[in-house]
């Protein structure tokens, strides 16, 4: 019988396993995770849980040695997590998880319970704290949408940080832009990281730079953001059922140029005067630009919510139509491995990926933590500087 000496990790709200794969491949070189299942680092996911069976099926296809539990976390005792993972209190090197972000997402923000931060699912943050308190891991990584830090939800956020401080973990938080870490996507997420020894975690410095939706200035000494065109280079795909944008706005979507959205069809641009200025959400009829990173991939987009590909294709009537992104393209934008397997339909995988942490972003945070805990050794000057700054 072979003994696995890798450090155990408890994964909560695992979903499709973006953070789980980051844990598994934390020692891989940047980008190598896209083409090969390596995973020879210091960590292993000892147990993973989520309430969605389909997500657990997807995770099992890609991390076949990881035991999974499909259940609402509110009815899952920490003792059972430890038992299934074959670990005791204090053994886990890391607890990871991204509690469902729906309560804090801008999507559906018009709902009163979201505006007023009264969504009952907010208590899932407390479940994360409960597992940390009872399992006493060496460290934790919690990921969520940027909106958790907004004034509207500040009470939840401050209560979360206070609870983690009370446990002695000295939580540090930062909103990170995925594109700044080599992900071809302008996706912002907040990460909260804490250590049992109380030492402050130092977040990794960005490796890439470029303009974003909210900033036109950046550090030009960094590598440039990876564009969607670069991400798709050399990728061979085939058509997928339902990929063409048809229906009420199908013709209008096909006329929107790359990098533009519905605003093209207002009186301020060159399209048809169909919409009032800023009357729709920004992703309505949005087309990717091959020269920029993608906008955030939506987990449950409506039929006219992009980003759509910049190319048009003919439908059965010979009319040009915009097309949705294909699964291999979604994987590239998430920096997921090309051999990633998933359970469910194309819509199911979009939902799973839209809720996931981009692999290279997850690796950047996890690797920085493992370096500072001494479980990895620095391999370049950037990592040596990070350790000096964290000392």
* Burial of 267 from C-beta contacts in 10 A (0-12 / 13-18 / 19+): exposed
* CB-CB contact of 295 with 281 (8 Å): no
Largest separation between any pair of C-alpha atoms in the chain: 71
pLDDT tens digit string along 33-68?
555 455 579 999 999 999 999 999 999 999 999 999
Calculate mean pLDDT across residues 181-203. Answer: 97
pLDDT in tens, 134-189: 999 999 999 998 988 998 888 889 989 999 999 999 999 999 999 999 999 999 99
For residue 28, is pLDDT > 60?
A: yes
Could you tell me the sign of the dihedral formed by the alpha carbons of 118, 120, 121, 122, in that order? positive
Summarize the confidence of residues 330-358 as an average pLDDT: 95
Rounded to whole angstroms, how far apart are CA atoms 30 and 45? Answer: 20
Let me know the angle formed at the C-alpha of 291 by 310 and 17, rounded to the nearest 5 degrees: 80
91-131 confidence digits (pLDDT tens): 999 999 998 854 544 444 334 444 444 455 457 899 999 99
- What the block records as the tokens of 120 is 């009952």
The pLDDT value recorded for residue 331 is: 97
299: nearest Cα among 348, 371, 368, 252: 348
Looking at every residue in the chain, the average pLDDT score rounds to 91
Report the candidate in 319, 314, 313, 253 with the shortest Cα–Cα distance to residue 287. Answer: 253
The pLDDT assigned to 71 comes to: 96
The residue with greater pLDDT, 391 or 361, is: 361
**Each residue's pLDDT tens digit, 229-263:** 999 999 999 999 999 999 999 999 999 999 999 99
- Please report, rounded to a whole number, the percentage of residues in the chain having pLDDT higher than 70: 92
Reading the block at residue 94, the tokens are 């890391």
Please report, for residues 66, 157, 283, the alpha-carbon distance to residue 24 in angstroms, rounded to integers and kept in the order given. Answer: 11, 29, 33
Q: Please provide the CATH number assigned to the domain covering 7-224+341-390.
A: 3.40.50.150
Q: Is the pLDDT of residue 221 over 50?
A: yes
How many Cβ atoms sit within 10 Å of the Cβ of residue 280?
A: 16
- Residue numbers annotated as active site: 101
Closest of 200, 180, 7, 184 to residue 96, by C-alpha:
7
Asked if pLDDT for residue 325 goes beyond 70, the answer is: yes
CA 297, 301, 304 angle in degrees (round to 5)?
110
Alpha helices in the chain (DSSP H): 18-24, 53-62, 78-85, 112-115, 124-135, 154-166, 228-232, 250-255, 327-333, 346-354, 359-373, 381-390
pLDDT at position 111, please?
Answer: 41
Domain ranges of the chain: 7-224+341-390, 239-325
């Amino acid at each position: 019988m072979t003994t696995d000496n890798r450090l155990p990790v408890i994964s909560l709200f695992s979903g499709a396993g973006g953070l789980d794969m980051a844990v598994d491949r934390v020692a891989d070189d940047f980008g190598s995770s896209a083409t090969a299942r390596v995973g020879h680092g210091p960590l292993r996911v000892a147990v993973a849980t989520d309430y969605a069976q389909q997500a657990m099926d997807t995770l099992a296809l890609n991390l076949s040695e990881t035991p999974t539990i499909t259940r609402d976390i509110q009815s899952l005792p920490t003792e059972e997590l430890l038992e299934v993972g074959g670990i005791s209190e204090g053994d886990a090197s890391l607890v990871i998880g991204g509690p469902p972000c729906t309560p804090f997402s801008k999507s559906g923000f018009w709902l009163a319970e979201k505006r007023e931060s009264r969504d009952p699912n907010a208590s899932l943050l407390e479940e994360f704290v409960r597992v940390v308190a009872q399992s006493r891991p060496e460290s934790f990584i919690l990921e969520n949408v940027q909106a958790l830090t907004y004034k509207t939800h500040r009470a939840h956020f401050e209560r979360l940080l206070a609870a983690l401080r009370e446990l002695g973990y000295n939580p540090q938080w930062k909103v990170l832009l995925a594109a700044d870490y080599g992900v071809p996507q302008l996706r912002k997420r907040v990460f909260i990281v804490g250590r049992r020894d109380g030492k402050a975690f130092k977040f990794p410095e960005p490796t890439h730079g470029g303009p974003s939706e909210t900033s036109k200035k950046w550090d030009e000494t960094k590598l440039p953001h990876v564009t969607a065109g670069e991400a798709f280079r050399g990728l061979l795909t085939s058509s997928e059922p339902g990929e063409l944008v048809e229906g009420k706005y199908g013709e209008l979507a096909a006329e929107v140029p790359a990098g533009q959205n519905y605003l093209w069809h207002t009186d301020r641009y060159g399209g048809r005067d169909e919409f009032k200025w800023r009357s729709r959400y920004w992703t309505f009829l949005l087309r990717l630009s091959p020269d920029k990173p993608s906008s955030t991939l939506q987990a449950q987009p409506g039929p006219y919510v992009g980003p759509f590909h910049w190319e048009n294709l003919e439908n059965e009537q010979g009319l040009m139509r915009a097309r949705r992104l294909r699964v291999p393209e979604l994987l590239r934008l998430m920096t997921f491995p090309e051999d990633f397997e998933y359970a469910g339909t194309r819509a199911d995988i979009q939902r799973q990926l839209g809720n996931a942490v981009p692999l290279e972003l997850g690796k950047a945070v996890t690797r920085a933590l493992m370096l500072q805990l001494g479980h990895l050794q620095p391999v370049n000057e950037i990592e040596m500087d990070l350790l000096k700054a964290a000392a």
